[in-house]
Structure 1
Amino acid sequence: MTDTTSAEANRTFADLGLGPELLRALESLGYEEPTPIQQSAIPPVLAGRDLMGLAATGTGKTAAFTLPLLQRISRGGGLPSALILVPTRELAVQVAQAVHRYGRHMAIEVLPIYGGQSFSQQLKVLRRGVDVVVATPGRALDHIRRGTLGLVGVEMLVLDEADEMLDMGFADDIDAILAEVPDTRQSLLFSATLGPTIAAIARKHLRDPVEVRITEDSESDGEGPLVRQTAYLVRRPHKLAALGRVLDLESPEAVLVFCRTRNDVDELAEALGARGYRAEAMHGGMSQDQRDRVMKKLRGGAVDLLVATDVAARGLDISHLSHVINYDVPNAPKSYVHRIGRVGRAGREGVAITLADPREHALLRNIERQTHQKIAIETLPTVADMQAHRLELTRASLREVMLGGGLEHFRVVVEALSDEFDLWDIAVGAVKMAHEATLSDAAGDDEEIPSAHAPTPRSDGGKHKGGRGGPSGRRTPGSVRLFIGAGRRVGIRPKDLVGAITGEAGIRGGEIGTIQISEKFSLVEVNAAVADRVVQALGKSTIKGKRVKVRIDGGR
């Protein structure tokens, strides 16, 4: 294999040999210069060479193969001239959109094929004729076996995110699909890593390929990801409160929070919603319509916090994303790299924050060794830190108001009070009112979070049981735990409990602590001073339309 590790600087897309139709499209999209992988990959692909590209997420791989693909393939023949295989439906949609955008002046017909979408609708478009098919392996193989996807006309084959497809168990499907593609096709393989399995696939399916390897040195010009990486050691029961504190401190424009499982995603999104955050979930158990609605809300500014699994986040392109938060430490360094690659693009600084249980500290160190990047372990902001931070925000807001002018209308209020109070006291009172108006009612914001650097005695023999908001084995000082006789079986969610408690008992959300929802019952921590009032109020009302048993939990 030929190893192409560096590209000539200051080359334009025209220098790479792209035709006028593609150059017009790139100019209208605002593309100014090719990224390193595009500079290295496009010329050999245009020359008809097979290629293996090794580069991380966010380096411009999609354009590196779609642009030369569009220039080389035949058009208007009815049967697909190009097949692009990708691991997830999100990536299938993203790549298909890229093909459509780049080929807008070329009358290119492109179809994304993936599970969760109407099979009959896909079949209708296929019968009408397409030039490029972007497919997940499972759905592509389904069409092939039904005889609805003919591959005899394929001139170019692309395996995108090949390492992800193999990790998801698509190796046999890929072999079966490639057996249906003509041997004369041109083949391109892109992967973030080069393991033995990827190397074996390259040897089996690529002919004398050019190897394009974009290393860390290739991005040292400042155009690559620029990410501030931080980790906080937080015990599992306190992660939700810690996440709220981090979000308040960072004030992100848009944030992507990663969890390991679908259930974790649903539970965290609901818990954050109950605390007043505009959060939505994204995972493989959702229909495509549901995912599309979530992405529309995110891009429209109606949502600023997306909770997702690794698989569901593959292929997501969120231009205003400023922060990535790992609610759990990913098991594989590769997953960590994929996650933080979502931010810090195009010279903008991004932020990657990891909430690590002390038992996950070794995973952090392994990630550092594998990525050769330092992850700073910092101390979680204290309640005093957060109070000081909020006061600083109030000061900054007041300064903007003062500089903005237009204060004459309000002088009459000061003049009316000046006969009774000192002007200094009036100013302090106004600041206090402005500050309290901006305080969040999010539950647990001022909860004391024990240090995770010292071991905490356990009364459960070391066994760890998770739930919504974390396990309920340790209670926040000054709180008691309430037993509520309704749980997941009747559709109880954290926001239902928060709404019922604040609405019926008339207490603030800040007096509600950890919430754990089981199949048949729920446990809620509340401030001890209001516990009796909550029990009495909920005992006289309904939750989800039903009367439920409510009592102070005896800890059994």
Structure 2
Amino acid sequence: MLIDDLPVDRRLIISLSHLGFTETTEIQAKAVPIAVAGKDLLASSKTGSGKTLAYLLPAMQRVLKTRALTKRDPRVLILTPTRELAKQVYAQLRLLVSNTSLKSTLVSGGENFNDQVKALDKDPHFVVGTPGRIVDHLKKGLLHLEGLELLILDEADRMLDLGFAEQLKAVNSAANHRLRQTLLFSATLGHAEVNEFASELLKAPVRIAIGEENQQHSEISQRFYLADNLNQKEKLLFHFIKNEEIKQAIIFTATRLDAQRLSAALSEKGYGTLALHGDLTQNNRNSIMDSFSRGKAQLLVTTDIASRGLDLLNVSHVINFDIPKHTEEYIHRIGRTGRAGEKGDAISIIGPKDWVNFKKVEEFVQRQLTFNRVDGIKPQFKGIVEKVVKAPETKVVSHKAEKKQSSKTRKPKAAPNKIFHEAEEAGFTPMRRKKKIEE
């Protein structure tokens, strides 16, 4: 479907054409008409599918074409699981509102609280934020949602996995009126908690599932390499960085310490490298992502904090230095490349400690994964074979042998008295009379 065919205001079509959008993605073509019609929506699609525009366009359409319920309360609230994703959504929203009189603000953790209070006092039409900080403003009476018209939950499965269920319920309670429309997006509709949560928040929602959660990215080449230990993992990593045609690459690690260590090692080799992890302040994280998105560094070494929501078009490679514990994160990680129709490469290094997680990924994607090799690096590790525990053999015992065996079995000793007040004292030895010796 062409962007021109969407049932939205002409001003939005013009803004999108200026941004280079001419055709819709599948999720946009299916979700936008339903959301514009005012229906609640429960939708899933793979990462990089254009989901953000699928809810921003209906939100813009509603605010542009309908009268507000109240003059002061925000009309649209968009919640995301992480600060980085909130910032990404806010950046796209600002492009859409730039040629209108509509106001928007970002309210996420890690940012100055007082600055957010001032921004909310200006009565923005759109608020993009994270659940924790939004609820902080609600509790202090600095944000009111009685007039909220549209609640959008982006990556609801991730928010629930991160423990934001209570915050989401608080937001729902603060804006719980019959005129509110709700759009809920999740990586999968097979998430039990998401479905249970959706039944509380949504009213007769239309369900849209674009592909399965384990559907492979056809535009992304996936390769897997075995490694004996940490040193061999690093040799493989340095080989890929040196020999692959990399525009930009994101290297995922399991821990903050690994992210810092690998970033320092790559920097020493002369590569422009940045490290991103959850222990950094929000300002530092923003600065790092801004530098990377502007191409000031070729490599970004990070934990799963960067596995979702970041739309970085120049990322040609994703390298899994460690396999994630949660299988869904593998799909989200590799989805950082191969975006907007571009081809991408995903490389995963599997050591003995990664094997269990790797097998979970293999089961999740529902196909057997094969391994590649690098000349000069010959790992001895071939994977871990599950031991098959044989059931003990049952011997056939004849009736005579059984009778003979039973006669030999000793009677079990009587269990000691364990009742405290009736038990014998420690060291107690009963006295025995000596037999008289007859002379």
Same structural fold, with TM-score higher than 0.5 when normalized by the shorter chain: yes
Match of 1:27 in 2: 17
Map of 1:234 onto structure 2: 227
Is 1:171 aligned with 2:161? no
Contact kept in structure 1, 2:313 and 2:340, CA below 8 Å: no
User: Partner of 1:207 in structure 2?
Assistant: 203
1:286 Cα deviation (Å)? 1.5
Residue number among 56, 59, 62 corresponding to 1:66 in the alignment: 56
Q: 2:71 aligns with which of 77, 82, 85?
A: 77
1:347 Cα deviation (Å)? 2.9
1:96 aligns to what? 90
- SS for the counterpart of 1:44 is helix
State how far apart, in whole Å, the 2-side matches of 1:373 and 1:321 are.
26
Equivalent positions of 1:31-430 (< 5 A) are 31-73=21-63, 74=67, 77-183=71-177, 184-194=179-189, 195-215=191-211, 225-238=218-231, 239-372=233-366, 375-382=369-376
TM-superposed deviation, 1:116: 0.9
The residue type paired with residue 334 of structure 2 is I
Matched, 1:18 2:8: yes
Query: Which string of whole-angstrom CA distances, capped at 9 and with x for unpartnered residues, describes residues 510-554 of structure 1?
Result: xxxxxxxxxxxxxxxxxxxxxxxxxxxxxxxxxxxxxxxxxxxxx
Displacement of 1:142: 0.4
- 2:258 aligns to what SS in structure 1? helix
Note if contact 2:317-2:344 (Cα within 8 Å) is conserved in structure 1.
Answer: yes
Cα contact 2:248–2:315 (8 A) shared by 1: yes
SS of the residue aligned with 1:376? coil
Q: Which amino acid aligns with 1:20?
A: R
Q: Separation in 2 of the partners of 1:299 and 1:201?
A: 35
- 1:376-400 per-residue CA deviation (whole Å, 9 max, x = no partner) reads 3111331xxxxxxxxxxxxxxxxxx
Mapped contact 1:333–1:371 kept (Cα < 8 A): no
Query: CA offset at residue 359 of structure 1?
Result: 4.1
CA contact (8 A) 1:225 1:345 kept: no
Aligned ranges 1:520-539 → 2 under 5 Å: none
Counterparts of residues 484-495 of structure 1 (less than 5 Å) = none
Counterpart-to-counterpart distance in 2, 1:68 and 1:129 = 20
The amino acid across from 1:453 in the alignment is K
Amino acid at match of 2:103: E
Name the amino acid aligned to 1:452.
Answer: F
Deviation at 1:345, TM superposition (A): 2.3
State the TM-score, normalizing by the size of structure 1: 0.65
Cα pair 2:2 2:24 within 8 Å, conserved = yes
Separation (CA, whole Å) in 2 of partners of 1:294 and 1:139: 22
Residue 106 (structure 1) shift: 2.4
Equivalent-residue separation in structure 2 for 1:15 and 1:300 (angstroms): 33
Structure 1's unaligned 5+ residue stretches are: 1-10, 383-447, 456-556
**2:54 & 2:341 partners in 1: Cα distance?**
20
RMSD: 2.2
**1:298 Cα deviation (Å)?**
1.7
**1:453 equivalent in alignment to 2:382:** yes
| Native 8 Å contact 2:135 2:171 kept in 1 | yes
Please report how far the alpha carbon of residue 368 of structure 1 lies from its aligned counterpart in structure 2 after TM superposition. 2.4
TM-score, normalised with respect to structure 2: 0.81
Q: Return the structure number with greater relative CO, CA threshold 8 A, min gap 6.
A: 2
2-side partners of 1:13 and 1:31: how far apart?
7
How far apart are 1:209 and its partner, in Å? 0.5
> Which segments of 5 or more consecutive residues in structure 2 lack a partner in the other structure?
385-439
Can you list the C-alpha shifts for 1:282-338, whole angstroms capped at 9, x where unaligned?
122222321232223223332000011112443222111000011101112200000
* SS of residue matched to 2:174: coil
Distance 1:60 1:450 in 2: 40
Given that 2:226 and 2:379 are in contact with CA atoms closer than 8 Å, whether structure 1 keeps it comes out as: no
- Shift in Å at residue 272 of structure 1? 1.7
2:381 partner letter: A
How many corresponding residue pairs?
377
Distance in 1 (alpha carbons) for counterparts of 2:168 and 2:228: 41
CA distance in 1, matches of 2:156, 2:383: 42
CA contact (8 A) 1:18 1:68 kept: yes
Given that 1:225 and 1:347 are in contact with CA atoms closer than 8 Å, whether structure 2 keeps it comes out as no
Contact 2:263–2:301 (CA under 8 A) maintained in structure 1 = yes
Aligned partners of 1:225 and 1:279: how far apart in 2?
Answer: 29
Superposed displacement of residue 225, structure 1: 4.9
| 8 Å CA contact retained: 1:229, 1:374 | no
Residues 153 and 175 (structure 1 numbering): CA distance in 2 closer, same or farther, change over 3 Å? same
Question: Is the 1:84–1:133 contact (alpha carbons within 8 Å) kept by the matching residues of 2?
Answer: yes
Deviation at 1:216, TM superposition (A): 5.5
Partner Cα separation in structure 1 for residue 342 and residue 356 of structure 2: 30
Partner SS for 1:378: coil
CA change 1:291–1:86 in 2 (3 A) is same
Cα contact 1:22–1:105 (8 A) shared by 2: no
Matching residue's letter, 1:42: V
Alignment partners' CA distance in 1, 2:218 and 2:242? 24
Question: How much has 1:348 moved relative to structure 2?
Answer: 2.0
